[in-house]
Amino acid sequence: MSPPILIRGGWLIDPAHRINGRRDLLLNDGVVSDVSERALSVPNAQAIDATGLWVMPGLIDLHVHLREPGQERKETIASGSRAAVSGGFTTVVAMPNTEPANDSPLVTGFIRRRSEQANLCRVLCAGAITKGLKGEELAEMGALVAAGCVCVTDDGRPVMSAGLMRHAMQYARDLGVPVMAHEEDLTLSADGCMNEGATATRLGLPPIPRSAEVAMVARDLVLAEETGARLHLAHLSCAQSVELLRAAKKRGVGVTAEVTPHHLMLTDAAVLGYETNAKMNPPLREEADVSAVREALSDGTIDAIASDHAPHTRMDKQVEFDKAANGIVGLETSVALALELVWKGVLSPPRLVEAFTVGPSRAFRLPGGQLGLGAPADVTIVDPEARWTIDAAAFFSLSRNTPFQGRSVKGRVTHTLVGGRLVFERGKLEEQAR
Amino acid sequence: MSDRRADTPSLASRHLLGIEGLQRSEVEAILALARQYKQGLKDGIQRTPLAGKFVALLFFEDSTRTRSSFEIAAKSLGAKVLNWSPTGSSLSKGETLLDTVKNIDATLRNMDSGGPSALVIRHRSSGAPTLVSRQVHCSVINAGDGIHEHPSQALLDAFTLQERLGSLNGKRVMILGDILHSRVARSNVHCLRLLGAKVIVSGPPTLMPAGIESLGCEWAPDFREVLGSLDALMTLRVQRERQTDSFVPSMREYAARWGIGRAVSDQLKPGAVILHPGPVNREVELASEVVDGDRSVILEQVSNGLPVRMAILEMCA
């Protein structure tokens, strides 16, 4: 049995328990065993000095692509797990657009076994809504949920048929899992590859209008309200989507939503020069949209920050813009980028932590996301003063596709503990430290 | 014999990727050199500043006039020409654009005696020449990329307009048609604006890109209302290959609403000219009698392509 871990002298931010102050935290047997305003003394404990550091529940990323099985040159469950814990994430939800797609318990089981072998963070699975993510027939959601899937989604692809989506919601409601929706009307996005607007017009790139997202958000909110299903809106990017979401929440619709760090930090001007690392779906939008998603994150309309970690090889990106793959890696930059909103005064530190912990855990009804007595001993420690420069060459991820290369940021994950085990400490993984 | 002149003006960049980003003085320098070449062609004076150099024409997309115009221009400047085409090339074996181009670039480097040669690229993807320019030693000349830019076309259009109208300062030029899918329109907005003209765009609402005004032009919802004030009307080709069906109901309706027939053409003021980058869909964007009429400078555009492209090649290669 490993010794208890005592995290001493840190500033504990645990929004679920409204804690934002100096606390000592004792972890024992994989759970939280004491949270104390007074200094704790536990002779046999392994101590971590957290003086000057922020101690928070282990961060949860509801939206990552780990690429295994099928595209192991981009990422594997092991490399993605290393990237996750080094970025402060103790739980990630792996999207089903693998090859083969995670539309059967067989694939779910494979991913779970691989993550047990990687033995770093908790890798949870999102199962497919439709077989092969084709949007034609429902996947065996019951079997997927029984195998451990925590939500269903055809992420990366919308379910274009409203009738099928309605059935998926009715069915998922019965299973007690949320339906996560990549909101895109393909007849509106068509051959588009960046946001519609002055920048697309200047670059001569086929545009994706906002209506491609907003119209589908509207459709799915109507369906969620009618079916009583829990709907989770993935990576919102448009001001109007946020307005619809806000109104739906007010009416009591069971909807949650996430936003990515890149939609919070960048506009479509990042595409200038045909920068393929700024190509993603949904595309980067304009200033008004960035302001709207920031505001919605700040006021709680948007529940979670999720990275949409999307690793791609150099070859996938170093091509003509319209042929380049969508998406960027995010696990190792999410926290530092989101912290910029704290330094700018957009988010309070507790609100930021909430969006990385209890926000996502409530959306998917996951254990964790809080540090009450008996909660899983998943803890992330951040040095809020550490200044560093984002350098893709130093990523644990197998991929390097980031538009944030060279960006100077403030705030860095120093420790990550999963189930009471210190898996990452100051730049080194547990396995490297050994 | 190479008789590259010491006073040949050059561009700030060794590439010509678009008109956007060029200075007015650079555009004027190209046009001035083109005027010299046009006079030289007329007088039978030949200069061969590109002797010993290679110009590779890489047309990933079909073209007749641009390709042959660049080819004749390069040859008449003394360059050797590699005429590459994607059919039957390694591209059809799955080679990437960059690999294809880097191989050609490496070959040209061997052959090259007098500094960098030029790659003239046409590609269906916007930004492809920009991508290539970061990876090769040669100069890259954009001969049309996707729906982004077609700088040599805009330069020859400006050249033609200057011949007809003199200085373009304060002149009003309308670009009419499928602006959304037109690289000619984008390059022309930039180029005409640099030369002091007022540019107005119009066309079917489904083919008007968002935020077009941010390029520095004006949008006229109804082109007929401003016809009488124009010095030049540039019509664009209806690109049926871009599934125009879902943008306009039919060619007949396009012709009825945006086509230029005799009656519409007569509303232009005296001396105003009509341009078209070709190939023309007769009786769609232009009636035949307008194509072949007095205002039409379409064939002048084509013939001016040669001196303009000679000037571009001399300045870049």
Q: How confident is the model at residue B2 (pLDDT cuts 50, 70, 90)?
A: very low
Pick the CATH number of A58-364 from 3.20.20.140, 3.30.460.10, 3.40.50.9100, 3.30.365.10: 3.20.20.140
Sign, CA dihedral A121-A122-A126-A127, equals positive
For B210, the closest of A207, A315, A319 (CB atoms) is: A207
Verify whether the Cβ–Cβ distance B131 to A323 is below 8 Å.
no
To the nearest whole Å, the CA of A183 is away from the closest chain B CA by 22
Q: Is A308 a catalytic residue?
A: yes
Query: What mean pLDDT is predicted for residues A354-382?
Result: 97
At A167 the pLDDT is: 98
Residue that has been written with the tokens 């430290």 in this structure: A433
Residue B120 parent element (H or E): strand B118-123
Chain A residue with Cα closest to B19: A202
For residue range B170-208, what is the model confidence (pLDDT) as tens digits? 999 999 999 999 999 999 999 999 999 999 999 999 999
pLDDT of residue B62: 86
The minimal CB distance from B183 to the residues A202, A204, A209 is found for A204
Determine the pLDDT at residue A290.
98
Range B87-107 average pLDDT = 82
Residue of B nearest to A195 (CA): B210
Question: What digits encode the pLDDT tens for the residues A214-245?
Answer: 999 999 999 999 999 999 999 999 999 999 99
Paired sense of beta strands A408-418 and A46-49, if any: unpaired
Mean predicted confidence (pLDDT) in B239-244: 74
Q: Is the pLDDT of residue B1 over 50?
A: no
* Partners of residue B20 in chain A, C-beta under 8 Å: 202
Within 13 A of B127's CA, how many CA atoms are on the CB side? 22
Domains and CATH numbers, chain B: 24-150+304-316 (3.40.50.1370), 152-302 (3.40.50.1370)
Beta strands in A73-173 (DSSP E): 89-94, 122-127, 149-152
The predicted structure's pLDDT at residue A51: 98
Q: Is the distance from CB of A233 to CB of A256 less than 8 angstroms?
A: yes
What does the H/E/C string look like for B240-294? HHHCHHHCCCCHHHHHHHHCECHHHHCCCCCCCEEECCCCCCECCCECHHHHCCC
Residue B41 has pLDDT above 90, yes or no: yes
- Within 10 angstroms of residue A359's Cβ, the number of other Cβ atoms is 26
A320 touches chain B (CB under 8 A): yes
Averaged pLDDT, A243-248: 98
Average pLDDT over residues A174-197: 97
Average pLDDT, chain B: 92
Q: Tell me which of A220, A303, A308, A378 is the catalytic residue.
A: A308
Residue in chain B lying closest to A208 (CA): B210
Q: How confident is the model at residue B116 (pLDDT cuts 50, 70, 90)?
A: low
pLDDT class of B112 with cuts at 50, 70, 90: low
Q: Does A318 touch chain B (CB under 8 A)?
A: yes
A416-434: per-residue pLDDT in tens? 999 999 999 999 998 754 4
B211/A274 CB distance under 8 A: no
Nearest to B97 among A198, A209, A320 (CB): A320
- Selected for mutation to probe chain A from B126, B149, B217 (highest A CB count within 10 Å) is B126
Lowest-confidence pick of A183-187, A203-207, B84-88, B217-221: B84-88
**Residue B270 in tokens:** 């005296």
DSSP state of A321: G
Pairs of CB atoms within 8 A across A/B = 69
Give the pLDDT confidence of A323-346 residue by residue, as tens digits. 999 999 999 999 999 999 999 999
Contacts of B213 (CB under 8 A, 6+ apart): B219
Q: What is the pLDDT of residue A203?
A: 98
Strands annotated E in A216-361: 231-233, 255-259, 304-305
Architecture of the domain made up of A5-55+375-433: Roll (2.30)
The pLDDT value given to residue B111: 67
Average pLDDT on A253-266 reads: 98
pLDDT at position B3, please?
52
* CA diameter of chain B: 58
Domain boundaries, chain A: 5-55+375-433, 58-364
* Interchain pair B131, A321: CB under 8 A: yes
CB contact under 8 A, A203 and B212: no
Q: Do A204 and B130 touch (CB under 8 A)?
A: no
The reply to whether residue B127 touches residue A321, judged by beta carbons under 8 angstroms, is yes
Residue contact B20–A321, C-beta within 8 A: no
Which structure tokens are listed for A178? 């949320």
Q: What is the dihedral of CA A281, A284, A286, A291, to 10 degrees?
A: 100
In terms of CA atoms, which chain B residue is nearest residue A316? B96
Nearest to B117 by CA among B135, B84, B83, B141: B141
A416 class by beta-carbon count within 10 Å (0-12 exposed, 13-18 middle, 19+ buried): buried
Whether B5 has a pLDDT exceeding 70, the answer reads: no
Q: By CA distance, what is A274's nearest residue in B?
A: B127
Average pLDDT value for residue range B242-252 = 82
CB burial readout A176-194, b (16+ within 10 A) else e: ebbbbbbbbbeebbeebbb
- Cis-peptide, bond into residue A105, ω within 30° of zero: no
Q: pLDDT value at position B86? A: 83
- What is the predicted pLDDT for the residue at A433? 44
Q: How does pLDDT run across A104-150, given as a tens digit for each residue?
A: 999 999 999 999 999 999 999 999 999 999 999 999 999 999 999 99
pLDDT score at A1: 60
Q: What is the pLDDT of residues A162-175, one digit of tens each?
A: 999 999 999 999 99
What's the confidence (pLDDT) of residue B244?
61
Of residues B87 and B189, the one with the higher pLDDT is B189
Rounded mean pLDDT of chain A?
97
pLDDT at res. A118: 96
Angstroms from B13 CA to nearest CA on chain A? 15
Task: Say what the pLDDT of residue B13 is.
Answer: 86
pLDDT digits (tens, 9 = 90+) for B25-35: 999 999 999 99
